């Protein structure tokens, strides 16, 4: 005989199912409704605007990247984790002077430059080179035939030439205006050299700090065309040099007889450079933009129009070199890379990273358009990407402070600029992540 309670069980299931269905419908209405709804004393005041998936666009641009950088706080680890500790030890070993004879050191560095680097992967003579540049006697000061801003070519004892870039601003001076505004920052030139060691982009010449006596070490040894630009002002020795933008009103003066500056190692006479206009050159006009600033497909067109920039062409590395440079420039905030240089006559020569003075003008702004080669092409070398990921495990600013402790004009940067370095490293890696969401990682990260 059937029990009467057996007939009630299915009715209970129907009621439970109906209630569950009604609850789900109510929740859906709550989630999708635009009107405020009171729920347990909490008000759902608005629903965030729907953001399309990254695959809904084909090319990255500044607006899209900025929208994905909100609250981009990446966690920094301890700088002394083993791989980073080994890297810093290696670099610091290179930076220690070995007290080698400077003539043998000069003979060695004359052989440094190759088609792929200016400083070799292992450079035990580096510390001796730095010591020589900081202490060697200056025997001649002349006008260099390069650049548009005030510089002095110094010849040191032994015949090595170095380019002297004087200090224009104190460390905390804020450069207003565009990314290329202001005079060169000598400390930026020095930081760029040390950063090149950390990034393993050894295509930047050695640059170190030195304080020189403007009268006895430069004026007294200056060629006539340079010495005529010297004058006295309030018992200080001043000069304005010879260059396109050099004028008596735009001068530098020594403080207590000494003038701080950066010495940049001049390349051997045997190394000839060839200059090219950068595809990502700015117009330097406020009312006129370059093609790359308005065309998200610029990199694709560039690769189709020129074999030099087509990474699919066997052996072509020019585009990847420019991406390297853009990442380097973004970290130091150098937006003045209008031309680039390679070693003339060397097959498939790497792009050198020279003239880094227009860096660290502002700590409060990250000029994303410097990264255009990266986010428009969505290509990066595996080696550089791995190095960036390694540096992210610690604090890049801490590493820079660690390897620059012995520089003659330490500290090179104030804290806001050091913080900006860490922030920009995180931004670079975030852009690579966006590229890998838009394209297959194998197409973005090039081995």
The per-residue pLDDT for range 270-312, each reduced to its tens digit, is 999 999 999 999 999 989 999 999 999 999 999 999 989 998 7
136-193 pLDDT tens trace: 999 999 999 888 899 999 999 999 999 999 999 999 999 998 999 999 999 999 999 9
- Taking phi over 0 as left and psi of -120 to 50 as alpha, with beta for the rest, 356 belongs to alpha
Half-sphere exposure of residue 213: CA atoms within 13 angstroms, side-chain side: 9
C-alpha torsion sign, points 297, 370, 182, 252: negative
Average pLDDT over residues 63-81: 70
> Which tokens belong to 25?
């419908």
Of 264-273, 305-314, 327-336, where does mean pLDDT reach its minimum? 305-314
Indicate if the pLDDT at residue 71 is higher than 80.
no
Largest CA distance in the chain: 124
Please report the pLDDT score of residue 44 as a whole number: 30
Average pLDDT over residues 68-82: 64
Residue 75: how many other CB atoms lie within 10 Å: 7
- Do 338 and 277 touch, CB atoms closer than 8 A? yes
Q: In the annotation, is 336 catalytic? A: yes
Please report the pLDDT score of residue 411 as a whole number: 97
413-432 pLDDT tens trace: 999 999 999 999 999 999 99
- From 128, 321, 336, 355, the catalytic residue: 336
Give the H or E element holding residue 233.
strand 230-233
Indicate if the pLDDT at residue 215 is higher than 70.
yes
Indicate if the pLDDT at residue 228 is higher than 90.
yes
Percent of the chain with pLDDT over 70: 85
108-125 pLDDT tens trace: 889 999 999 999 999 999
84-108 pLDDT tens trace: 889 999 999 999 999 878 888 888 8
C-alpha span between 336 and 351 (Å, rounded): 15
**What are the DSSP calls for 9-71, one per residue?**
HHHHHHHHHHHHHHHHHHHHHHHH--S--EETTEE----PPP---GGG-SS--HHHHHHT-TT
Please report the pLDDT score of residue 27 as a whole number: 40
DSSP state of 218: I
Indicate if the pLDDT at residue 78 is higher than 90.
no
Average pLDDT over residues 344-369: 95
Percent of the chain with pLDDT over 90: 73
Please report the pLDDT score of residue 79 as a whole number: 54
146 Cβ contact partners less than 8 Å away, ≥ 6 residues apart: 163
Indicate if the pLDDT at residue 17 is higher than 90.
no
Of 41-45, 82-86, 366-370, where does mean pLDDT reach its minimum? 41-45
Indicate if the pLDDT at residue 11 is higher than 60.
no
Please report the pLDDT score of residue 108 as a whole number: 87
Closest CA to 126 of 141, 145, 142, 112: 112
> pTM for this structure?
0.86
Please report the pLDDT score of residue 421 as a whole number: 97
- Which CA distances in Å does 67 have to 58, 103, 374, 392, 439? 16, 55, 17, 22, 19
The separation between the first and the last C-alpha atoms of the chain, rounded to the nearest angstrom, is 78
| β pairing state of 380-381 and 445-446 | parallel
State the burial class of residue 361 (Cβ atoms within 10 Å of its Cβ: 0-12, 13-18, 19+).
buried
C-alpha span between 436 and 447 (Å, rounded): 15
Of 236-240, 246-250, 394-398, where does mean pLDDT reach its minimum? 394-398
State the burial class of residue 313 (Cβ atoms within 10 Å of its Cβ: 0-12, 13-18, 19+).
middle
């Amino acid at each position: 005989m059937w029990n009467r309670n057996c007939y009630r069980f299915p009715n209970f299931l129907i009621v439970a199912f109906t209630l569950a269905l009604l609850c789900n419908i109510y929740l859906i209405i709550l989630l999708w409704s635009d009107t405020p709804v009171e729920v347990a004393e909490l008000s759902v005041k608005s629903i965030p605007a729907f953001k399309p998936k990254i695959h809904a666009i084909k090319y990255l641009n500044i607006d899209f990247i900025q929208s994905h950088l909100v609250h981009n706080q990446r966690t920094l680890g301890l700088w002394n984790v083993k791989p980073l500790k080994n890297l810093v030890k290696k670099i610091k070993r290179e930076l220690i002077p070995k007290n080698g004879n400077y003539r043998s050191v000069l003979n060695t560095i004359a052989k440094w430059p190759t088609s792929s680097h200016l400083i070799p992967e292992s450079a035990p003579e580096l510390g001796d080179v730095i010591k020589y540049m900081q202490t060697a006697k200056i025997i001649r000061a002349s006008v260099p035939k390069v650049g548009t801003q005030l510089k002095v070519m110094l010849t040191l004892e032994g015949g090595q030439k170095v380019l002297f870039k004087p200090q224009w601003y104190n460390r905390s001076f804020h450069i207003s205006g565009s990314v290329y505004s202001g005079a060169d920052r000598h400390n930026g030139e020095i930081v760029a050299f040390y950063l090149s060691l950390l990034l393993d982009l050894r295509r930047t010449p050695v640059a170190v700090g030195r304080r020189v006596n403007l009268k006895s070490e430069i004026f007294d040894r200056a060629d006539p065309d340079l010495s005529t630009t010297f004058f006295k002002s309030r018992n200080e020795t001043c000069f304005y040099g010879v260059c396109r933008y050099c004028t008596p009103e735009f001068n530098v003066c020594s403080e207590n007889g000494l003038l701080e500056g950066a010495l940049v190692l001049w390349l051997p006479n045997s190394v000839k450079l060839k200059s090219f206009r950068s595809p990502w050159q700015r117009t330097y006009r406020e009312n006129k933009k370059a093609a790359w600033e308005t065309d998200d497909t610029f990199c694709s067109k560039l690769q189709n129009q020129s074999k030099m920039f087509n990474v699919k062409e066997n052996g072509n590395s020019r585009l990847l070199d420019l991406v390297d440079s853009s990442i380097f420039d973004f970290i130091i905030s150098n937006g003045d890379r209008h031309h680039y240089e390679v070693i003339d006559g060397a097959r498939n020569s790497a792009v050198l990273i020279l003239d880094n003075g227009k860096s660290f003008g502002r700590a409060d702004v990250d000029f994303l358009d410097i990264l255009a080669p990266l986010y428009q092409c969505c290509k990066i070398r595996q080696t550089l990407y791995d190095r960036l990921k390694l540096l992210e495990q610690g604090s890049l600013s801490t590493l820079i402070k660690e390897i620059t402790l012995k520089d003659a004009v330490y500290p090179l940067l104030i804290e806001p600029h050091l913080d900006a370095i860490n922030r920009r490293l995180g931004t670079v890696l975030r852009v690579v992540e966006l590229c890998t969401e838009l394209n297959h990682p194998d197409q973005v990260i090039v081995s």
